[in-house]
């Protein structure tokens, strides 16, 4: 397994692989790898000849009061996991290489980026779309793999790839969860023991929503009210948002119809967690 830090070396590697007719599977990450990332790597390994994982804590997607400096970083541990799971290359660029002093260009996917998480994290998805567009251009993947836990991000990346005619197939794979239902996230490391137990309320609220829908409830407001009541009973939980939206447009829907996304963001203590599920 290679660790490549240079953008040009990464481009040269991918170019050589594609000249040989090889398919490149790509998993973009910010490191702190867990089983959710490994599930993406596994699928990439199954579907492609070469697997590239990027590890880059992207400063452009963090707000001024967010956790950029304390975001977990452990290249040695991540590299070991990558090697064990059949990764061919880790692309590990510096922030200076990705965003040199004269950098001026950004990618913004309108409408999709200003709702849900984008409403409380302005500029976040511009940072995400920009770095992923850059990574797609540098790595030149055949297929790129994302997790359903970050459903809004996956929707935005898919729209961007389509709109900009990027020659990459975006794959979105199911959320990987702990045994108690908590969605795996690098930010789970921030939780205290008490907060970790309480964090399960996110997945429990989604289960409640699905239960209500199966029982015949179709009104989004009623479903959201029940979810709010459940989450608000927690000692450390503070709701950022709970929304039921069209899975493609991310626009709110008053009634469950077609493919809807139930998404939520909740602060557990000082840690903001997200989760989601499909209503149908």
CA distances from 208 to 75, 211, 229 (A): 38, 5, 11
3-state secondary structure 54-98: EECCCHHHCCCCCCCCCCCCCHHHHHHHHHHCCCCEEECCCHHHH
Q: Which residues contact 186 (CB under 8 A, 6 or more apart)?
A: 30, 31, 32, 34, 71, 72
Question: Which of 107, 115, 138, 104 has its CA nearest to residue 28?
Answer: 138
- Record the tokens describing residue 116, joined without a space: 């849900």
**Is residue 133 within a helix (H) or strand (E), and if so which, with residue range?**
helix 124-139
- Give yes or no: 37 in active site: yes
Question: Which of 50, 53, 54 has its CA nearest to residue 142?
Answer: 50
- Record the tokens describing residue 239, joined without a space: 């709701």
Q: Which residues contact 76 (CB under 8 A, 6 or more apart)?
A: none
> Of 34, 37, 106, 124, which is the active-site residue?
37
In this structure, the strands spanning 271-278 and 50-55 are: unpaired
What span, in angstroms and rounded, lies between the C-alpha atoms of 146 and 28?
Answer: 8
Catalytic positions, written as ranges: 37
């Amino acid at each position: 397994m290679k660790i490549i830090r240079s953008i040009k070396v990464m481009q040269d590697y991918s170019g050589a692989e594609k000249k040989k007719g090889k398919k490149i599977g790509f998993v973009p990450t910010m490191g702190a790898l867990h089983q959710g990332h490994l599930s993406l790597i596994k699928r990439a390994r199954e579907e492609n000849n070469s697997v590239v994982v990027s590890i880059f804590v992207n400063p452009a997607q963090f707000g001024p009061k967010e956790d950029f400096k304390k975001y977990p970083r452990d290249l040695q541990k991540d590299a070991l996991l990558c090697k064990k799971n059949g990764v061919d290359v880790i692309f590990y660029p510096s922030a200076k290489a990705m965003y040199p002093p004269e950098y001026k260009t950004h990618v913004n996917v309108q409408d999709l980026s200003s709702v849900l998480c984008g409403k409380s994290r302005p500029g976040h998805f511009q940072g995400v779309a920009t770095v992923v567009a850059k990574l797609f251009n540098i790595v030149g993947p055949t297929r790129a793999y994302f997790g359903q836990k970050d459903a809004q991000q996956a929707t935005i990346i898919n729209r961007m790839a389509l709109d900009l005619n990027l020659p990459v197939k975006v794959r979105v794979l199911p959320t990987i969860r702990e045994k108690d239902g908590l969605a795996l996230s690098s930010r789970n490391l921030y939780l205290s023991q008490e907060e970790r137990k309480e964090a399960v309320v996110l997945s429990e609220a989604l289960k409640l929503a699905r239960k209500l829908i199966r029982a015949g409830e179709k009104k989004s407001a009623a479903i959201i009210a029940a979810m709010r009541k459940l989450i608000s009973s927690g000692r450390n939980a503070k709701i950022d948002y709970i929304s039921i939206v069209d899975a493609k447009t991310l626009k709110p829907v008053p009634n469950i119809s077609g493919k809807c996304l139930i998404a939520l963001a909740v602060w557990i203590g000082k840690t903001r967690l997200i989760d989601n599920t499909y209503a149908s």
